[in-house]
Amino acid sequence: MATVFDKLKRLRCEAMQYSRYIYFRSLSAAEDMLRSIRSKVESLGEAGRGFYDALNGLYIAITSDDKNTFYYKLYYDSSPDDVESYRDKLLNEAYRETADEYERGFTLAWEAILSQLAELKRQYPPKVEKLQEPSLPKSVTEMLRGDESIEIKPRRKPKSEQPKKSS
């Protein structure tokens, strides 16, 4: 009879496909896949809940566009070898004696995510968007120093020039 973790390992391909959808920002397909995975892990107890929570957390991080998340940092700032190193560390955590079922399910999901991320980073390196600094107009002092002449007009006529009201 297959253990809970054997069943979760069978879902690894689906978790990797889900990770692929996330990588390419196919969020509607990722959401559909997440629903499918949820229905399959509901009967797997705490390990299934941990597996689902890891995948759902990734979806929330991507849809909220939170640049401080683990996934974003790996996506933008890490090499595929670094990602694989983190994957290996997570896999070791999943099999340590003191890990509970929830933690094992959670780390198994992240292992699948990171495996797919490393592979995709090799095949399709992420496009790093360079932030352009806004082009600011010259400051007033720079304009005054230059050859350009500036005429500053008052908003209102001075009081001495305003017509007096007759009573």
| Mean pLDDT confidence for 118-145 | 66
User: Which residue's entry shows tokens 């391909």?
Assistant: 13
Helix (H, G, I), strand (E, B) or coil at 146: coil
Instruction: Please name the residues in contact with 79: beta carbons below 8 A apart, sequence gap of 6 or more.
Output: 121
What pLDDT, in 10s, does the model give residues 18-60? 999 999 989 999 999 999 999 999 888 898 899 999 999 999 9
* ∠ CA 134-137-141, rounded to 5°: 135
pTM of the model: 0.71
Distance CA 37, CA 15 (A): 8
> How many whole angstroms from its chain centre is CA 75?
8
Split at pLDDT 50, 70, 90, the class of 117 is very high
Give yes or no for residue 145 having a pLDDT over 70: no
Distance CA 105, CA 150 (A): 68
